[in-house]
Structure 1
């Protein structure tokens, strides 16, 4: 019945593109074939999927679409293997049978990677999609989603789906506040997820409220309570899922969350606190595995993955001297700079009420650029200051 479960899930989540990619021959049982034919006929006639049935199929569990596709592929593979084992092949039919085996095995291998492989015949369609996105974002100079900081968008292309964007700073230097300021804007446009590995969700919510309603003296608990009394929280319309990172053990857990909630952008505050799926023998190897696995996660899911990471103690001296940390000053490993599309250092400014975004690494544009941003807890202003400096090289 896995075929019925898959079809129900596709209807429920309105994923017509997934239906097209699933080989018809994978639907083995008569009731599966009948439902598949009904859905495809409806799609061809009306250009959209029919509504899902009012009741779940027998034995249905709410798993990701990819789970059911894997189950379908394995079931069909077992059927092919059974047929090969029991086949009676004569001298006259051996070549024909070998062709059958080659075709089926090749098909299963190709289809198992169907979500990740672009075939030659699909190139024009993919090229058109990429061009459409670039045309749409041409005015903003974006390849991805806006960061909420226009000068940062202009220089990096924004948060690019399938890629990793990293903010790095020393402890209590602004990583969380600037990423929260970014996500609260983006969550008004696309579904987002914010995973806090460093703070309780309640603390994150207080900061979000303070940013959204511009509540001054956020550090004063008395002022917080009095400021929130008359606020209309219904106006806080953010398409945002908050996650307590204490319950996330490793990158696989994060993948499960993304598969279940389907965000377009994921903000991972304190990414270095994750555990990698691979074993490790040192903190350096652990950090390297984390960022590499996060990179693969972004590629596999297609989300824009925004991480925060620590700068090492050595960065403090370097920042004091030049104001410009280097990739080797990222805590535990410089692999972060190798895996991310952009690494933005948050460094002090000569004026305490400002900080600077220092573009340390940037695959889509210039590096060693400083963008001045507000650091004002009194007015909860963490916006851009419209000042850009090109660092000395």
Structure 2
């Protein structure tokens, strides 16, 4: 039995659903828009849900939707149709205009969203007794709740004239600001010139063999970006204190060993540099999450929250192969790691698109690089590559030739080339590929673009 409040609510929802069906039957120009926004499971009343299912089926079958065609269609598929046809006739006759159709659609959807949330919470409560651990239940609950649609579908089809007008407006706006970028800055002039900054919604892969400095380069990028754009750095391998030490060493150019020791004359001699670097870091807007063993769902949940609460504009993840598809306590697992990495790569791309931010994800390279005479990395070297090549908008490799032939260099050549590092842009969905020369100081993790005359 429904109480009075429930009865009143049911009547309100049922009336709204009847009204939106009357608009669909009488307003040809907007019926497709309404159908694109509402699904059959958004209807609360069993009577209107049944009618809308017929309308939805006609839409899918490309049958013109009208009162007459709906009646004919129901007669062709249902034998005992007197009750539903009487209901449709009353709904059709109640049509009073379509001025408020968007408000009605939103009202129906919000009610549907709350009803689905209630059902989801009941399902979570039911599942509570069958799960072995609290962590497993929380993971299940997160997946179910995050799977709920919280906004109406937007119409994505646009005329090219409106799209080109928006593009020209952006170009004009950028032209008024000298050197402005359309994306988040990397802090490196040549890299920004080639990418126009890291673009919203892009998945960027930064890959290298061990000891090439990919974590150090990512920290350089994160600190540079966070000066003007809030940035979040997921460190799945290295704890926060080590990340902080690296940042301070890079920003101050004081050797890591000196910072680690924390005492002695060398610290005193470099104290001014450290204080200056501290101020620089404090002026940035960088956040660090050093939780190990994060799943894709964990990252999605934490990044959504950070986007909402901290207005995060770029995300860094160190690194792809340490992400799992499911939490460690979840019994589900992939036998094929390559397939799992592919799912994770696709998931990261979806998150980037959903939150409209660039995600820079570090990745390992396979050992096949070491077996070749030419050690320059290629996209096929991406470890557990799967869909990484396809999903990524920008793929960059770090490569240091001296790492492989250092023993063959003369002492003079060692001094000249030991720190030379090449950033290889191997894939650029929205621009050209290129190589950019850097000098990498391994003692402090500082990268600098190498000038042509160096």
* TM norm structure 2: 0.59
- CA separation of 1:122/1:115 partners in 2, compared to 1, >3 Å: closer, same or farther? farther
CA contact (8 A) 1:134 1:142 kept: no
Query: Which residue in 2 is equivalent to 1:56?
Result: none
SS at match of 1:382: strand
Query: Which residue in 1 is equivalent to 2:89?
Result: 92
SS at match of 1:386: coil
CA distance in 1, matches of 2:88, 2:214: 70
CA distance in 2, matches of 1:200, 1:91: 64
1:186 CA drift (Å): 0.8
- CA separation of 1:376/1:95 partners in 2, compared to 1, >3 Å: closer, same or farther? same
SS at match of 1:287: helix
Match of 2:206 among 158, 163, 167: 167
1:303 CA drift (Å): 1.2
Query: Which residue in 2 is equivalent to 1:288?
Result: 342
Matched, 1:244 2:303: no
1:261 CA drift (Å): 1.6
Query: Which residue in 2 is equivalent to 1:275?
Result: 324
Matched, 1:309 2:309: no
Query: Which residue in 1 is equivalent to 2:313?
Result: 264
| Bigger CA radius of gyration | 2
CA contact (8 A) 1:217 1:377 kept: no
CA contact (8 A) 1:197 1:271 kept: no
Q: Which runs of 5+ in 2 are unaligned?
A: 1-11, 14-37, 52-82, 113-148, 327-331, 403-416
SS at match of 1:195: strand
- Which range moved further: 90-99 or 182-191? 90-99
SS at match of 1:375: strand
Matched, 1:253 2:305: no
Q: Which runs of 5+ in 1 are unaligned?
A: 1-27, 30-72, 389-393
CA distance in 2, matches of 1:91, 1:163: 48
What is the total number of aligned residue pairs between the two structures?
310
- CA separation of 1:322/1:214 partners in 2, compared to 1, >3 Å: closer, same or farther? same
CA distance in 2, matches of 1:96, 1:282: 59
1:325 CA drift (Å): 1.5
Matched, 1:386 2:416: no
1:156 CA drift (Å): 2.6
1:78 CA drift (Å): 5.7
- CA separation of 1:199/1:300 partners in 2, compared to 1, >3 Å: closer, same or farther? same
SS at match of 1:152: helix
CA contact (8 A) 2:43 2:49 kept: no
- CA separation of 1:128/1:274 partners in 2, compared to 1, >3 Å: closer, same or farther? farther
After superposition, residues 8-47 of structure 1 pair within 5 angstroms as: none
- CA separation of 1:331/1:134 partners in 2, compared to 1, >3 Å: closer, same or farther? farther
CA distance in 1, matches of 2:377, 2:94: 63
CA distance in 2, matches of 1:129, 1:114: 23
Match of 1:357 among 423, 436, 439: 423
SS at match of 1:383: strand
Query: Which residue in 1 is equivalent to 2:382?
Result: 330
1:130 CA drift (Å): 4.8
Match of 1:374 among 425, 436, 439: 439
CA contact (8 A) 1:157 1:364 kept: no
Q: 1:325-375 deviations in whole A, cap 9, x for unaligned?
A: 2111000115212111111110013411111001111112222x2211111
Q: How large is the RMSD of aligned CA atoms in angstroms? A: 3.9
* TM norm structure 1: 0.67
SS at match of 1:252: helix
CA contact (8 A) 2:206 2:398 kept: yes
CA contact (8 A) 2:293 2:323 kept: no
CA contact (8 A) 1:291 1:335 kept: yes
